[in-house]
Amino acid sequence: MTQTDTSTIAIATPVVGSEELELLRDVLDSGWLTQGPKVAEFERRFARRHGVSHAIAVTSCTTGLHLALLSLGIGPGDEVIVPSFTWIASANAVLYCGAIPILCDVDPATFNIDIDDALRKVTGRTRAVVAVHLFGLCADVAALRACLPDRVEIVEDAACAAGAARGGRAAGSLGRVGVFSFHPRKTITTGEGGMITTDDDDLAAVIRQLRNHGSTQSEEERHHGPRPHLLPEFPVLGYNYRMTDLQGAVGLAQLARLDTMLAARSQWAAWYGEHLSAMNWLTLPGVPGDCRHGWQAYVTLVDESRSPAPAAVIMDRLAEQGIMTRPGTHAIHRLGYYRQRFGYTDNQFPGASACATRSLAIPLHNRMTAQDFMRVTEALAAL
């Protein structure tokens, strides 16, 4: 590496190859492009990998959260507690149901839900808590469950947590229902797409019906049945949230790489921990002893009383060197729609506000080389 190296190190880049092309060719040759056998196989393998009875593929994590909440009967007048430091979809899905998202704070040490603050927000109208496994670190769902009334459900927003685990149990198996994302910034991707997981047979049946317009039959079941010309019944209002077999094919190839990619990410996260530990202005992410971190992102916190510059300026300086960074995510209570509708103020949730202002996600993905990692750490040290 030289000081004149100006190649760009992306914040995230998906890994795709010949395996995806081969499986995509199978789908194109079959003539069956919508939800079909490839999606079904992807669902079976994803469920097995995450230790659940059911995995149900959908168009995105956002639509998955929508269906998960609807399947629990959440609707107008209900309240759902959501941590403020998360992607906006975690709260938007509550609004799609006609329910009210009640924001709570997060713990900056983990970026995950502040359980004490969440408990303060529980009322007689609370129906669920969305436990977000931010950046791939599972929230302490067991501790949250122990404190909540039995009537309050836990929905895992496992968007970032494919392959992650806590207490020997995989993400997606910790609450009543979990939802994953396959956006290209995630460890495995289908372009767009998501997966809902649950051990509840009845819940799974409701979700499958809702994702397919409310139909009593899937398209594949109808077309391969004895009377494909007969249209199904639609007893409930549903949605078209089906994943295509093209995406399912990509997902199968991606899932086959998941554990290898997780191992590499864990190795390089440990490398970052060793090489960045001397920077007293940078708080590095920790991993509780009972967790397997998914390392969807490597997110630090900048101590602006000691740092060479505020986090936003550091991002600008690194970008000038071709090193792409991001804030960890945003604080929902600071976003225009939520400020206007619910009257939130910028610093209403101190933990979430600090994370939004001071978080710094540095590159960590499976296309990076050892030279890339060295370049990132040297650039930070030289600030």
What share of residues in the chain are helix, strand, coil (percent, to 5)?
A: 40, 15, 45
Q: Nearest 10 degrees: CA dihedral of 207, 56, 90, 154?
A: 70
Q: Which whole number is the average pLDDT over 183-198?
A: 98
Check if the beta carbon of residue 232 is closer than 8 Å to that of residue 217: yes
Would you state the pLDDT for residue 232? 84
> Nearest Cα to 177, choosing from 223, 125, 141, 211?
141
| Active site amino acids | 186
Q: What is the DSSP string of 364-380?
A: --TT--HHHHHHHHHHH
Domains and CATH numbers, the chain: 18-255 (3.40.640.10), 259-381 (3.90.1150.10)
Residue 137 has pLDDT above 60, yes or no: yes
Does residue 135 have a pLDDT over 80?
Answer: yes
pLDDT 10s digits, 60-82: 999 999 999 999 999 999 999 99
Lowest average pLDDT, out of 19-28, 141-150, 167-176, 222-231, goes to 222-231
At 233 the pLDDT is 85
Please report the beta strands in the chain, taking only residues with DSSP state E, as ranges in sequence order.
Answer: 54-58, 79-83, 100-104, 126-132, 153-157, 165-166, 169-170, 177-181, 194-198, 282-283, 291-292, 298-302, 359-362
- What is the Cα–Cα distance from 84 to 330, expressed in whole angstroms? 8
- Helix, strand, or coil here: 269? helix
pTM to 2 decimal places:
0.96
Query: According to the model, what pLDDT value does residue 5 have?
Result: 66
- pLDDT tens profile 327-360: 999 999 999 999 999 999 998 999 999 999 999 9
**317-330 pLDDT, tens per residue?**
999 999 999 999 99
pLDDT for residue 221? 73
Q: What percent of the chain has pLDDT over 70?
A: 98
Q: How far apart are CA 82 and CA 131, in angstroms?
A: 7
The mean of the pLDDT values for the chain is: 96
Contact 162, 45 (CB under 8 A): no
- How do residues 264-303 score in pLDDT, each as one tens digit? 999 999 999 999 999 999 999 999 999 999 999 999 999 9
The single residue listed with the structure tokens 């864990």 is: 266
Averaged pLDDT for residues 115-120: 98
Does residue 161 register a pLDDT over 90?
yes
pLDDT exceeds cutoff 90 at 157: yes
Contact between 44 and 55 (Cβ < 8 Å): yes
**What is the model's pLDDT at position 198?**
98
% of the chain beyond a pLDDT of 90: 93
